[in-house]
Amino acid sequence: MLLAIDVGNTQTTLGLFDGEDMLHMWRISSDTTQSTDELRITLHGLLTMEGISRADVDGMALATVVPAAKHMWMKVGRTMFGLDVLDINVRTAGDLIDITNYRRSVLGADRIADAVAARAFYGAPVIVVDFGTATNIEVIDKDGCFVGGVIAPGVMSSMNALFSRTALLPQVELVDPKAAIGRNTIKAMQVGIVYGEVDRVDGLVHRIEDQLGYKAKVVATGGLASTMAKLTTTVTEINPELTLQGIRLIYENQPK
């Protein structure tokens, strides 16, 4: 079985694959202050809970945008499973991603995995909206090339910034406010945060399609995809597993 690991700034998503099938998916906090032993204990508990032994895991692949987490997971792979962990990057992605039309060769591992999986599952052209700590948008053109995208503050980052700088505003739940005019403080904040995010995404997608000169499928992923994407007018698919599936595809494409 393959253990695919996507370490974000806030959450770490784990997927356990048997071939193409994802058997289990877990989300844990991305806590770089914990020790490797603490991480091993957490991982052991997740596997044990599902009746999975360490011997069942014969492959590991890691996509991380958190440098401190890379060493930690590499060590967990060696000490807990006796495995070398595949580091997801442009080199290991190989021919699964074409970045010849992108001006920089350095891409975040999560963006690489999203682009690989989106092209594999949805064809081209396709746009990925990843609702995480940052809201990332990846663009694959009609020729199947990664041509760039957008990196913006995520909805939780924006909300936390608002709360930290405004002493009198309360925490609010990320739900559909159902109206564009907030009749109280809570509703007004939900309109600004929730509708502000989905309208920003819709506006960016429209601008991207205008620049491409054609429409594209729009796929949402990330921890907040199910909450935010259903309120947009541009997202056509929601796939919470997309990044993990991209990690799996890259792992399976390695030379044997």
Which single residue is written with the structure tokens 């393959």? 2
- Please give the Cα distance from 9 to 69 (Å, whole number): 10
Catalytic residue of the set 6, 87, 110, 141: 110
List CB contacts of 15: < 8 A, sequence separation 6 or more. 3, 4, 6, 22, 24, 25, 241, 244, 245, 247, 248
Answer positive or negative: Cα dihedral of 93, 133, 135, 173.
positive
Closest to 124 measured CA to CA, from 111, 134, 110, 138: 138
- Give catalytic status of residue 110 as yes or no: yes
The residues carrying an active-site annotation are 110
